[in-house]
C-alpha cells in the first residue's frame, strides 16, 4: 500500500477564489491522479500527473480550471480556480505502485459558498 | 449506458448476515477488478484486487469475477457493524506496452450493518 497525505482535509471557500490542494506520498511514484467525487456520482478522473511533463486532462476538465503541478516523484498539487458552488465536491489524490490497483488519500472536502 | 453499473443502495442487513454486492460492466477490455471500501469522510481503501475471471478470498471477503457475464461480486460473510460503509467497484484494462489504463468506478453501494 501507500501512505498518501492530503491537505487541507476540508475547506469552505468564497466563489471566485482558488484553492490549492496538496498531495504528499511516502515514497516515489511515477503516476499520480486527481479525482473528483460528487454526491450521487462515481469517482471521476480529472487528470493524470506525471513528473517532468504536463498533466493529462480527461474530457470535461481543462488546465485553466484545474492547474496541476508535479515538481517531484512524491508530491503534487491540484488548484481549483475561480470556484463556483458547482465545484463543491470531494477531491482525491491517488497513486499506483507498479500494479493496477490505485491507492487514495483521505480526500479534501470542498464547499464553495 | 454507463460503463460500470452499481446499485447505490442503501442496503441494510442484520449483523452476521452474508452481504452480496454487485457490479455489471459493458467494456470487454476490462481485465483488472477492484473493490474499495469508503467510510464516511474518508478516502477509498482498497479491499480486493483480482485479475481476469475467478474467485479471490481474503478473510471474510470474497471477490468473484465472471467475465463472460461482465459481472463482478463482493461477498462479505458474518457482516459486522464496522463493515458499514460505501463499497465501490472499480475496473481497468491493460495498457499498451504495459502502460497505464484509466480506472473506472461504480457509483458505490452504501451498506449498513445493523447490530
Mean pLDDT for A85-109 is: 88
pLDDT tens-digit series, residues B3-52: 999 988 899 999 999 999 999 999 998 989 999 999 998 999 999 988 88
Strands of chain B (E only): list them: 4-5, 11-14, 19-25, 32-38, 45-51, 54-58, 61-66, 71-76, 85-92, 104-105, 109-114
Of the options 2.60.40.10, 3.40.605.10, 3.20.20.70, 3.40.50.880, the CATH number for the domain spanning B4-114: 2.60.40.10
Chain B residue at shortest CA distance from A105: B43
B59 touches chain A (CB under 8 A): no
> Is the confidence at residue B98, as pLDDT, over 60?
no
Structural domain spans, chain B:
4-114
**pLDDT average, residue stretch B82-104:** 82
Tell me how close the Cα of A3 comes to any Cα of chain B, in angstroms.
11
pLDDT tops 70 at residue B55: yes
Q: What does the pLDDT read at residue B23?
A: 97
Q: Is the pLDDT of residue A52 over 90?
A: no
* B8·A48 Cβ contact <8 A: no
- Say if CB B55 and CB B73 are below 8 A apart: no
Per-residue model confidence (pLDDT) at position A1: 67
Instruction: Give chain B's end-to-end CA distance (angstroms, integer).
Output: 37
More confident residue, B53 or B28: B28
What pLDDT does A100 receive? 65
Residue B58: the pLDDT is: 94
A92–B88 C-beta distance less than 8 A: no
> DSSP code of B94?
P
The pLDDT of residue B92 is 87
pLDDT at A110 over 90: yes
Q: Are the Cβ atoms of B46 and A102 closer than 8 angstroms?
A: yes
Query: Region A17-26: what's the mean pLDDT?
Result: 97
Is there a contact between B75 and B107 (Cβ–Cβ < 8 Å)? no
Report whether pLDDT(A28) > 80: yes
d(CA A103, CA A23): 12
Tally Cβ neighbours within 10 Å of residue B34. Answer: 23
Residues of chain B in contact with residue A109, where contact means CB-CB under 8 angstroms, are: 41
Q: What is the mean pLDDT of residues B51-66?
A: 92
Contacts of B97 (CB under 8 A, 6+ apart): none
Q: Which of residues 15-54 of A touch B (CB under 8 A)?
A: 31, 40-43, 45, 48
Domain architecture of chain A: domains with CATH: 16-98 (2.60.40.10)
Q: Is the pLDDT of residue B96 over 60?
A: no
CA distance B27 to B24: 10
Q: Do A43 and B105 touch (CB under 8 A)?
A: yes
Per-residue model confidence (pLDDT) at position B75: 97
Residue B95 confidence (pLDDT): 62
- Chain B contacts of A40, Cβ < 8 Å? 8, 107
Amino acid at each position: 500500500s501507500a501512505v498518501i497525505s492530503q491537505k487541507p482535509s476540508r475547506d469552505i471557500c468564497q466563489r471566485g477564489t482558488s484553492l490549492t490542494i496538496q498531495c504528499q506520498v511516502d515514497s516515489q511514484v511515477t503516476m499520480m491522479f486527481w479525482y473528483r467525487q460528487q454526491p450521487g456520482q462515481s469517482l471521476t478522473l480529472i487528470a493524470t500527473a506525471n513528473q517532468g511533463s504536463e498533466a493529462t486532462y480527461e474530457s470535461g476538465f481543462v488546465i485553466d480550471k484545474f492547474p496541476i503541478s508535479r515538481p517531484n516523484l512524491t508530491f503534487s498539487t491540484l488548484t481549483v480556480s475561480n470556484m463556483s458552488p458547482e465545484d463543491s465536491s470531494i477531491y482525491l489524490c491517488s497513486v499506483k505502485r507498479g500494479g493496477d490497483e490505485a491507492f487514495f488519500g483521505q480526500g479534501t472536502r470542498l464547499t464553495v459558498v | 449506458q454507463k460503463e460500470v453499473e452499481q446499485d447505490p443502495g442503501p442496503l441494510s442487513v442484520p449483523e452476521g448476515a452474508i452481504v452480496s454486492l454487485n457490479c455489471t460492466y459493458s467494456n470487454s477490455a476490462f481485465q483488472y477488478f477492484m473493490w474499495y471500501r469508503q467510510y464516511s469522510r474518508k478516502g477509498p481503501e482498497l479491499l480486493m484486487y483480482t485479475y481476469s475471471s475467478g474467485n479471490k478470498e481474503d478473510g471474510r471477503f470474497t471477490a468473484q469475477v465472471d467475465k463472460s457475464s461482465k459481472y463482478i461480486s463482493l461477498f462479505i460473510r458474518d457482516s459486522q457493524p464496522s463493515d458499514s460503509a460505501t463499497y465501490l467497484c472499480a475496473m481497468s484494462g491493460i495498457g499498451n506496452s504495459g502502460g497505464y489504463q484509466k480506472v473506472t468506478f461504480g457509483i458505490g453501494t452504501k451498506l449498513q450493518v445493523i447490530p
